[in-house]
Amino acid sequence: MGEPLAAMSEPSPRRRATVLLGILFAVLLALPAFAGSYLLSVATLILFFAYTGQAWNVMMGFAGQLSLGHSLYVGVGAYAAAGLYSHYGIGPWAGL
């Protein structure tokens, strides 16, 4: 007969994480086509803060070093992009 439900193997955590990461990537890829400008800006801020949080985790968590250099470069880049956009009309994607 068939195996009991408890004996059936579940997908490994690595496989589950890979599938969830693929789904997240597909949603983020399709987001600009369906979302409005407000939702898109909120999603961009969420990803930006996730990036800075991970950078902080690597520097202070794993390496144990206090480094504010990456914050300085992010701030200078944001300031330069805002200045180029407001003074010359150059979009932030050109600086990327």
pLDDT 10s digits, 37-83: 898 888 889 988 998 888 888 877 777 777 677 778 888 888 888 88
Residue 8 pLDDT > 70: no
Question: What is the C-alpha to C-alpha distance for residues 57 and 53, in angstroms, rounded to an integer?
Answer: 6
pTM, 2 dp: 0.50
Q: Which residue has the tokens 């050109």?
A: 94
Q: Position 29: which residue type?
A: L
Q: Which residues of 48-81 are buried (b: 16+ CB within 10 A; e: fewer)?
A: eeeeeeeeeeebeeeeeeeeeeeeeeeeeeeeeb
